[in-house]
Structure 1
Amino acid sequence: MREPTIHEVTITGGFWDDKQKLNADHAIFYQWQKLETTRCIDNFRIAAGLKTGFREGFFFSDSDAFKWLDAASRIMFHYPNPELIKLVNDFIDLITKAQQPDGYIYTYNQVHFPNQRWVDLQVEHEFYCLGHLIEAAVSHFEATSETKLLSIAQKAADLLVKDFADSTPEFTDGHEEIEIALIKLWKATDRIEYLALAKAFLERRGTIKFFPYKMFNQVMDSNRRMNIVAQARKAWLREHPDHNTFKLPERNKNVVPFWAGPRFALSALSGKYNQQHKPIADQKKAEGHSVRFCYLKTAEAMLAQIPGQENRIKPLHEIWTQMVTRRMYVTGGIGSLPLSEGFGRDYELDPEVAYAETCAALGSMFWSHEMANLTGEAPFEDLFEWQLYNAASVGIARDGCSYFYNNPLTSHGMIQRAEWYDIPCCPSNLSRVWASIGKNVCSFDHAEIRINQYINSEISIDSRRHIILHIESELPWGNRVKLRFAMDGPASYDLVMRLPAWAEACTVMHNGREININESSVLPGAPSANGLDFFAARWMRLSRKFNPNDDIELIFEMPIRLIKQDRRIPKCGGKFAVTRGPIVYCLESLDNSVDIMSVKVNPESLQPFFDTNVLNGTWVIRGMDVNDAPLVFIPYMLWANRGISSMTVFVS
């Protein structure tokens, strides 16, 4: 089975049509403006010799520009805005000029250390930046069939193959990403050496001898290099005082307990932080930096889909289960430790300290999507949906122009959205997912169509036989979905539809008549710290010959659920999260006169309600506390859109 290409699927209305238009009309242009004003794009002009100036930003800032290019390439296929197309083409021209003849491109070294390459790889992210360049190139090629950016990416990849095909484990990156990119490039070009290098990088990981000593030396050397840059910047400013007005945006705010620093240092030196502590086959727990971990597992799951790699499936399944049941918040957020931006111990899910980075949720979604491709099991698609609406989409404001980096589940007013960050990795990462969400709707082959996500869309299933599937969905707010076939004549398919874990049951109608349908058995799961049971998700199978304009309607039961937290979780153990359908709700102080941190809710009072007075109109849950004081719960993904406020997901 395969997912539709960007050419075969179109979002046709509803919730995700609005999001894609926001992405295409506002967010992507706003992000480019911020990349310009923070001088991220100027770094490429300086590296290309087109401009004099001082390279600004972190050593990994190239990746932020490449992720923007990835998102823009995906957007412009369905929204061919001439202004966006020009920005993309001009930036590709700039990258061409900045890239060195042998394929090397990494502006930090090119500008500040022109005679150095591949140094401090555990710290400075050269491979990570190249990975995002390659991913952008594959997206651009898929959207346009043009090869200019793909050729740039292949030059960079060919350099990696030349330098590292036979290298030692020391030459694996500190931030996984290149592995995903090389596998995608192999699929786009059929160049087997890219797959071989991705596999080698994975299998060398966790085998560096004397890692703590080498990691310490790389941290010290990287700091030395940063000090050289800082001194050079001071000298530049003395000669160019007009540059003095420039500074990067502030760092994201988060609660940092006293123990966070020492634990970060120990994680980094042990190798857990960047998954270098053991060979990947021996890693049994979700540990270290959560984005890096998920990118590593995504690449492993991609590799496991290749014949001969089936031995990877069971360990991937087990570690996914361990993460979801012991180290994930009820929103689907992952990463409970600040500073290290990583996983804590089992049940260490403090809602106020929660880091739950937007990129970590996206990384987990990438992994779950590949696990669904690998196994065909419904729980992976169920988690994808849950994180999409909660842990990921909370990362962008309603106007597309302010963001969250980290996403706590309880806040006393310290956390608020920012227009940009000094490390702006999340905005364009989220934009590229939104831009191509149609590819996640279904999978199909000549005999089966599997509906993974209920999103308004039109999918070309078989262009030869002119078979098109139309999906009309009320989700995430409503409970009805309609599927309709448009085709020239009858066609036989197994239509397989996900019954989400949040739906207690589903009524299925065929051409207006209720029918019985086969359901797959529920997979064995495990008790979950966050109270969610993704293993309850299953498939509904309808096998028959479908006729033109056949209509299948799904009516999901969508009750308000109170999800109890394991008592071992700090601060919210034994409390409840309020959910309906795939949406987690929260209390925000702006809507409630009571102390939201100590609310005891009357569960019988809770009712869904579309409120035109809240956030310019949205679905809320209204109810009463045990003292009959009114309560308003809003979708967690929409909090902090009205200024500073307190918020909590949990009630008694």
Structure 2
Amino acid sequence: MNQAKILPGYWYDRLAVNAETAIFHQWEQLEASGSIENFRILTGETEGFREGWFFADSDAFKWLDAAARVYATHPSPRLAALMDDFITLIGRVQKTDGYIYTYNQIHFPDTRWANLQIEHELYCHGHLIEAGISHHQATGRNDLIEIAQRAADRIVADFKGKGPVYTPGHQEIEIALLRLYRLTEQADYLDTARQFIEQRGRQRGFGLSVFRQNSIVEKRKEVVKRQRQAHLAAHPDLTPFQVPAGNEAKKPWNITLRYTLNALTGKYLQQHAPVRAQTVPVGHSVRFAYLETAVSMLARESGDLSLLTPLERVWDHMVSRRMYVTGGIGSLPALEGFGNDYELDPEFAYAETCAALASMFWNWEMVQLTDRAQYSDLFEWQLYNAAGVGMGVEGTSYLYNNPLTCKGGVTRQAWYEVPCCPSNISRTWADLGKYLYTNDEKNVWVHQYVNSETVFEKCGNVNLKIETGFPWQGNVRIVVTPGETQAFSLHLRIPSWTKDTLLRINNEGHDFPTADPVDNEQTASGYDPRISRFFDIQRNWSSGDLVEIDFNMDIQLRRAHPKVKGHKGKVAVTAGPLVYCLESVDNYEVDIFNVQIDPTSLAEQFDSDLLGGTSVISAKSLDSTPLTFIPYYLWGNRGPSQMTVWVRA
């Protein structure tokens, strides 16, 4: 993938916060919470007790992955030193045969791969492998990739050729092995990833198996608890790190029963049916989207396009019936996953940040597999909304679950007991330049409109530069500079949210052809990426050719499907790729959950002093009370507050 250079503008500023503040804040939190210290304890370098969940290694490895990706575009001696020290520490912890999992190595040194559906050993190894790949690509060095390959080779040796019992509970290792295959072209990695994917959902008696594993896991937790008590008794002056309490999530009355049934039937883990037979998105939403990402990668790398049908089937079902207007997925807390069709209560919404990011990974693979604009459209929508909300403007506070209505109890936190989201955001943003374009010898696709510049070597060293006011303004300037005059097609994504687009090529106006009618069922959320399409410009390009586009970003009022309960008479306010919300801090004298807006009063303006500079939408209620809407991704940056996306109109 091309890593386009991000130029000054909206994303330039956000990526600077990511590189200069967020990545170091995350390291400090990992140190404070014991995730890094766990490795030192294992080496004997320090004395202490292992902290965190059994999968805490994954958060440390994911940070290293994010740090490497940040370093690729924002190198700094401080970041390099942190990575080097941690890589050395990992090398000391890893067993000579490649295995590394501090939970077992410290507490149960004779145990490996015992509770694959619950304890996430393979998930942790997957994040280590991804970190190794990213570090190698960023630095050209081999120290971490060699550690990662030893881990991958251990997995191949222990799992290749085995049956459905040996599939992971939390998908991720599949993505890691497929990325490693792309780097090394070693067939064992492709074959093992394919095995994990194809064996999924084929285990007989899965419910009984997961019940037994859960029993073993609980007994192991009791052993660790007793070990901790003994350690604290021997060290009375020790004060363990206290993780912030985290956020509340309003739950349906029957959530415990639903969670139990999901787990025992395999749906929670996408183990209920083989991948090719799965028809709807179910279970834990992050695991689901990681699985679909891996299936898409497998289809691309193996050429097995028979996988495309189930991929498109579950994607379409998700978009049409099980996705929030923000692009968030996962409507049930505790389950952290999908509910039934049209079950999209805005206050129950879990919509985990990692789920939106995982969906973006999936959409990126799908657009490369199909060249269909709908996947890039959803990527953009989630980038700005369902994922964009996950990091605060200062880079040191985060949201894990993302309701669309908050009546209190959800605030941005510096860290979480399960801190999977912060570094996941950071690694995705750091790679933003890789998600903007694709190309081959005769085609260039523009997927995202971001101030950027890149060179396409496959097309004969074509330089392409974009200047835009996104996400606030719809103006886009594209300067095309080939090495010499040559013919190729430039494919411009026409977003689903725009109408009446204007196009000029070298100051000459051109008409967009009318899009073919799309026979789609109305989506549950009111947002439909399937409307998006690519517009193709085929011509002989010369140095300095200028393409100018004006995308209409008028305010739109979106309505949910009638089957979505509690949304009758309500709208979601959007403009361009952004979803807006009412936050109590801006509307402190208003009952934001019951106020009725006057749709004719909506007007957009830019406030350079608010939250680093943002568009706001002003409105009036039916009794002429002033109202202020801000972008959804910015809510919660000014302390505890209430918020709603859906308003009466």
- TM interval, shorter chain, is over 0.9
1:599 lines up with 2:592 in the alignment: no
Pick the aligned partner of 1:583 from 563, 569, 578. 578
| Mapping of residues 305-344 of structure 1, within 5 Å | 305-344=300-339
**Partners of 2:543 and 2:343 in 1: how far apart?**
53
1:399 lines up with 2:404 in the alignment: no
Q: How far apart are residue 48 of structure 1 and its match?
A: 2.4
Please tell me whether the aligned partners of residues 561 and 580 of structure 1 are also in contact (alpha carbons under 8 angstroms): yes
Q: How far apart are residue 610 of structure 1 and its match?
A: 1.1
Select between 228-237 and 571-580 the one with higher mean Cα deviation.
Answer: 571-580
Give me the TM-score of the superposition, normalised by structure 1.
Answer: 0.97
Q: Show CA shifts across 1:565-618 (max 9, x none).
A: 122223324411000000000001111122110121111111111124533532
Give the secondary-structure state (helix, strand or coil) at the position aligned to 1:483: strand
Q: How far apart are residue 465 of structure 1 and its match?
A: 4.5
Partner of 1:26: 21
Q: How far apart are residue 482 of structure 1 and its match?
A: 0.7
Please tell me whether the aligned partners of residues 501 and 512 of structure 2 are also in contact (alpha carbons under 8 angstroms): no
**Partners of 2:519 and 2:179 in 1: how far apart?**
32
Give the secondary-structure state (helix, strand or coil) at the position aligned to 1:421: coil
**Partners of 1:54 and 1:26 in 2: how far apart?**
29
Give the secondary-structure state (helix, strand or coil) at the position aligned to 1:596: coil
Q: How far apart are residue 463 of structure 1 and its match?
A: 7.9
Pick the aligned partner of 1:109 from 80, 83, 104. 104
Give the secondary-structure state (helix, strand or coil) at the position aligned to 2:387: helix
Pick the aligned partner of 2:605 from 580, 602, 609. 609
Q: How far apart are residue 516 of structure 1 and its match?
A: 3.2
Q: Show CA shifts across 1:138-170 (max 9, x none).
A: 111111121111111110110111111011211
Q: How far apart are residue 525 of structure 1 and its match?
A: 2.7
1:366 lines up with 2:361 in the alignment: yes
**Partners of 1:573 and 1:161 in 2: how far apart?**
53
**Partners of 2:468 and 2:105 in 1: how far apart?**
50
Please tell me whether the aligned partners of residues 519 and 539 of structure 1 are also in contact (alpha carbons under 8 angstroms): no
| Mapping of residues 437-476 of structure 1, within 5 Å | 437-462=432-457, 465-476=460-471
Q: How far apart are residue 520 of structure 1 and its match?
A: 6.4
**Considering only aligned residues, what root-mean-square deviation do their CA atoms show, in Å?**
1.4
Select between 509-518 and 447-456 the one with higher mean Cα deviation.
Answer: 509-518
Q: How far apart are residue 307 of structure 1 and its match?
A: 4.7
**Partners of 1:231 and 1:419 in 2: how far apart?**
30
Consecutive unaligned residues in structure 2, runs of 5 or more: none
Q: Show CA shifts across 1:159-184 (max 9, x none).
A: 11111101121111100000011000
**Partners of 2:278 and 2:263 in 1: how far apart?**
16
**Partners of 1:295 and 1:541 in 2: how far apart?**
31
Partner of 1:221: 216
Q: Show CA shifts across 1:236-284 (max 9, x none).
A: 0011122234333324321123211111111111110001111111111
Q: How far apart are residue 136 of structure 1 and its match?
A: 1.0
Partner of 2:38: 43
**Partners of 1:337 and 1:148 in 2: how far apart?**
42
Please tell me whether the aligned partners of residues 439 and 458 of structure 2 are also in contact (alpha carbons under 8 angstroms): no
Paired amino acid for 2:610: V
Pick the aligned partner of 2:238 from 231, 238, 243. 243
Paired amino acid for 2:586: D
Q: How far apart are residue 308 of structure 1 and its match?
A: 4.2
Paired amino acid for 1:387: Q
Please tell me whether the aligned partners of residues 439 and 459 of structure 2 are also in contact (alpha carbons under 8 angstroms): no
Partner of 2:635: 639
Q: Show CA shifts across 1:50-80 (max 9, x none).
A: 2221111000111101111111101111111
Q: How far apart are residue 362 of structure 1 and its match?
A: 0.5
Q: How far apart are residue 515 of structure 1 and its match?
A: 2.0
Please tell me whether the aligned partners of residues 251 and 423 of structure 1 are also in contact (alpha carbons under 8 angstroms): no
1:234 lines up with 2:191 in the alignment: no
Please tell me whether the aligned partners of residues 520 and 539 of structure 1 are also in contact (alpha carbons under 8 angstroms): no
Please tell me whether the aligned partners of residues 351 and 571 of structure 1 are also in contact (alpha carbons under 8 angstroms): no
Select between 325-334 and 544-553 the one with higher mean Cα deviation.
Answer: 544-553
Select between 628-637 and 527-536 the one with higher mean Cα deviation.
Answer: 527-536
**Partners of 2:495 and 2:515 in 1: how far apart?**
12
**Partners of 1:517 and 1:353 in 2: how far apart?**
41
Give me the TM-score of the superposition, normalised by structure 2.
Answer: 0.98
**Partners of 2:568 and 2:121 in 1: how far apart?**
42
**Partners of 2:424 and 2:514 in 1: how far apart?**
35
Query: Residues 45 and 524 of structure 1: is their aligned pair in 2 closer, same or farther, counting only changes over 3 Å?
Result: farther
Q: How far apart are residue 633 of structure 1 and its match?
A: 0.3
Q: How far apart are residue 522 of structure 1 and its match?
A: 5.8
**Partners of 1:391 and 1:305 in 2: how far apart?**
27
Q: How far apart are residue 137 of structure 1 and its match?
A: 1.0
Q: Show CA shifts across 1:14-63 (max 9, x none).
A: 11101110000000000000000001001111222322211110001111
